[in-house]
Amino acid sequence: MRFLPFVVKMAFTLAIFLLLFSGFATLTNHPGFAGRLLIWIYFILIFGAVFYVIFMFKK
């Protein structure tokens, strides 16, 4: 279980890099289903990151 925080941090880092490289362009180019899907991914990542930070500070 010691490796779990490291795996989560790596996943968040990779997801943030992917969103930075392609997220905004895809949102502006595809306002339909792909745009809504990316908006949901943004919300899930933001809430996941906030929850993860709170969880780490409570430990």
Domain boundaries, given as residue ranges, for the chain: 12-58
Residue 52: what pLDDT?
80
* pLDDT number for residue 16: 74
Tokens coding 35 = 């745009």
d(CA 59, CA 54): 9
What is the C-alpha separation between 7 and 52, in angstroms, rounded? Answer: 12
Q: Are 36 and 44 in contact (CB under 8 A)?
A: no
Helix 33-58 vs helix 4-29: angle between axes, to the nearest 10 degrees?
150
Q: What angle do CA 38, 41, 45 make, to 5 degrees?
A: 140
pLDDT block averages, 10 residues each, the chain of length 59: 73 75 61 69 80 77
